Structure 1
Amino acid sequence: MKPKHLSQRLLQAVLCLSFSTISIAPMAADTVEYPLKPITLVIPFGAGGSHDLNARIFTRVIPKYLNQPVIVKVMPGAAGQAGTSAVVRAKADGYTLLFTDNYRDQLQKYIEYLPYDTSKELITVVRTNYSPVSILVSADSPYQSLQELLDYAKENPGMLSLAHSGNWGAQFVPLLRILLHAEAHMTFIPYKGGGPAKQALLSGDVDVGIAFPSVALPLVEAGIVRMLASAGDTRLLPDVPTLTELGFDDDLGLMQRAVLAPRDIPPEHLEILRSAFSKLEFDEEYQGMMKQIGANTEYLDGSEYEKLRQIQSQRFEALVNNMSADNDSNNK
């Protein structure tokens, strides 16, 4: 009887092992077979801005490396919080991603209360590129240089109006820092993204606009606006000085664009996404379309950008700590 009892226990153990193997197998296959459906890319800014233009390009090309479409979902509101919150709350399966920038990702938390912490709840898939900000006025504006603009703003506080894509965003912060440096004041008017802010300048609702190359350069070439200065190491246009040349910080006005995912995304899914985006660096179709809109393609691997996120976050924290309370007059 004892041998029979041992055989039954052995049989039960074998059956349990078999069933557990069967239940585990589909899970292992699921982590490999990704993506199995379209991926949603959330943009927390308005349509028509530089993020939207950039996203429309890479989401057109990336499907050939993922074998699934990537659908752009524009979700502006609350200075980027609406779209960002949606991704933070999304299931961490790799089917909902965020396309944002370093200002929303690393600076905003030092300015206002947020119901999330992107540095803890989101992880980088890729930094698609960086983009230098440019300062624009209409083509018939009386201001021929940034210095002329700042001189007037200093002598006439609040008389000039500035359109931007949201408080403490990639358009807001560079101009604020410039105005603080010049001890000048403008009236800041927020819009739900770079697209609406651009339209405000074009329609004459505001005096000054901020834009990135993909938006600014076509307008300059068409003779619609005048560029007074741009950020970055090199000039965007031969006759337009950089902010560094004008005596401002060399890191002023550089926006880092990145695709982020919920941090608990399966590692296999994250690696598939990172691998797919890495191929854009050598994709002629992508490179050509980005060149057409005046945007660089300075790809940075997700793991490398994670290190840069930490450094930038510390610099933004220092920036906020160094700002005095009386500068709030520029935030209207």
Structure 2
Amino acid sequence: MLKQTLKTSLAAFALAAATIAGSTSSARAEYPEKPVTMVIPLGAGGSHDLNARVITSIMPTYLNQGMIVQLTPGAGGQKGTQEVARAKADGYKLLFTHNYIDMLQQYVENLPYDPMADFVPVARVNYAPTSVIVRADSPYQTFEDLVADAKANPGKVQMAHSGNWGAFFVPAAQVMQALDISLNLVPYQGGGPALQALLSGDADVTMAFPSALGEMLRAGEIRVLATAGDKRIYDDVPTFSEVGVEGDIGFMHRVVLAPKGTPTEVLDTLSAAFAKMFEDPTFIKLMNRLGESVDPLTGDEYQALRESQATAYKGLVADLTSN
């Protein structure tokens, strides 16, 4: 009798243990269990860094976990991008990048990863027009002043940018081609360092996005000479179209990518969290305070745009390098 009772107790214990183990395994399968790292392949102080700080302040509400910003600049964005490409595809390491690093670099560099094969889009956060800026004490009062000096002194005007074939290099090359001028393009590890080069006097001109300009404009440290597109951002500043630079030049899409192979259920959780964040009044308010828009696309929507970008950039690179 005692032996039978013992057997029954042990069987019940084993069943309970199995049930607990199963419950634990099920709980562990729920994503996310720990903070998610968002890698930015650019330096501190640029528009990506500033946008990411807003995202990571709101996302924990909808992801039920923290989100950590990791700045990993280097090699024109390749260092941080490669780190995420090689990361475990479990949703705990994401890439916050932009269209030039994502889709254009493959046509000018031998990359240690394949953008299409190694990544899947989670969401596009927004897209923003760049601005051509100088220090407040610059002799260039207008964009025409800059162009005139560049024509009179080819290659003498120093322009700091965020990395070769990046978000400032490409529109600068397109502007130079459109206006038949020559600037000395000097690379830095991101928009923040490029801005510091301008402010310190190491460069004559640079570009920047709205989120990076607010404080400096209010402090009277810089002057905006022109902005991308055909719609004015600032009432007294001409657009590229107004100064003779036509076309889709100077726009950056900020996108979140995950390593290819990330489980569908993890991508669904991330997509749902981003969708809720995009409608959050505090998120919208903070983005507006930065001077940034909120123009979300789903992962599938951005993937379609990604594919068209790849085709367009292939032609653009061929065009810019043929001269």
TM-score, normalized by length of structure 2? Answer: 0.90
Judge conservation of contact 1:31–1:266 (CA < 8 Å) in 2: no
Residue aligning to 2:284: 287
Which structure 2 residue ranges, 5 or more long, are not aligned? 1-17
1:258 to 255, 263, 267: 255
1:67 paired to 2:37: no
Against the structure 1 CA distance between its residues 27 and 273, is the aligned structure 2 distance closer, same or farther, given a 3 Å change threshold?
Answer: farther
Contact 1:163–1:188 (8 Å) recurs in 2? yes
Partner of 2:275: 278
Q: Which runs of 4+ in 1 moved over 6 A?
A: 25-28
**Per-residue deviation at 1:148?**
2.0
Pairing partner for 2:138 from 128, 137, 141: 141
- Which residue of structure 1 aligns with residue 46 of structure 2? 49
5 Å-filtered alignment, 1:19-58, equals 29=26, 33-58=30-55
Within the candidate set 225, 229, 242, 1:228 is matched to 225
Contact 1:150 1:179 in 2 (8 A): no
Matches within 5 A, 1:168-183: 168-183=165-180
Q: Where does 1:96-107 land on structure 2 (aligned, <5 Å)?
A: 96-107=93-104
What is the alpha-carbon distance in structure 1 between the residues aligned to residue 72 and residue 177 of structure 2? 31
2:53 and 2:69 in contact (8 A); partners too: yes
Equivalent position SS for 2:50: helix
Greater shift after overlay, 151-160 or 63-72? 151-160
Q: Tell me, what secondary structure is at the counterpart of 1:245? A: helix
| Aligned CA-pair RMSD | 1.9
1:203 maps to a residue whose letter is S
**Distance between the aligned counterparts of 2:136 and 2:119, measured in 1?**
41
Which stretch has the larger CA shift, 261-270 or 180-189?
180-189
Deviation at 1:270, TM superposition (A): 0.2
1:322 is matched with 319
Aligned to 1:9: none
Match of 1:232, SS state, is coil
- Distance in 1 of aligned mates of 2:215 and 2:309: 30
For residue 184 of structure 1, give the secondary structure of its aligned residue in structure 2: coil
Query: Aligned residue for 1:239?
Result: 236
Alpha-carbon distance in structure 2 between the residues aligned to 1:187 and 1:193: 17
Is the contact between residue 179 and residue 245 of structure 2 (CA under 8 Å) also seen in structure 1? no
Q: SS at the partner of 1:62?
A: helix
Q: CA deviation at 1:197?
A: 0.7
Q: Would the alpha carbon gap of residues 245 and 72 (structure 1) be closer, same or farther in structure 2, given more than 3 Å must change?
A: same
| Cα distance between partner residues in 1 of 2:297 and 2:106 | 24
Q: For the structure 1 residues 31 and 128, does the alpha-carbon distance in structure 2 shift closer, same or farther, using more than 3 Å as the test?
A: farther
Equivalent in the alignment of 1:126: 123
Structure 2 partner of 1:189:
186
> In structure 1, what residue type is equivalent to 2:38?
L
The answer as to whether partners of 2:35 and 2:68 remain within 8 angstroms in 1 is yes
- Superposed CA deviations along residues 258-309 of structure 1, whole A, max 9, x for unmatched, are 0000010000000100010011221011111111110111111111011000
CA–CA distance in structure 2, aligned partners of residues 245 and 151 of structure 1: 16
In structure 1, the gaps of 5 or more residues are: 1-20, 327-332
Deviation at 1:324, TM superposition (A): 3.7
Residue matched to 2:157: 160
TM-score normalised by the chain length of structure 1: 0.88
Counterpart of 2:151 in structure 1: which amino acid?
Answer: K
Alpha-carbon separation, structure 2, partners of 1:46 and 1:30: 37
Q: Does the CA-based 8 Å contact 2:230-2:240 persist in structure 1?
A: no
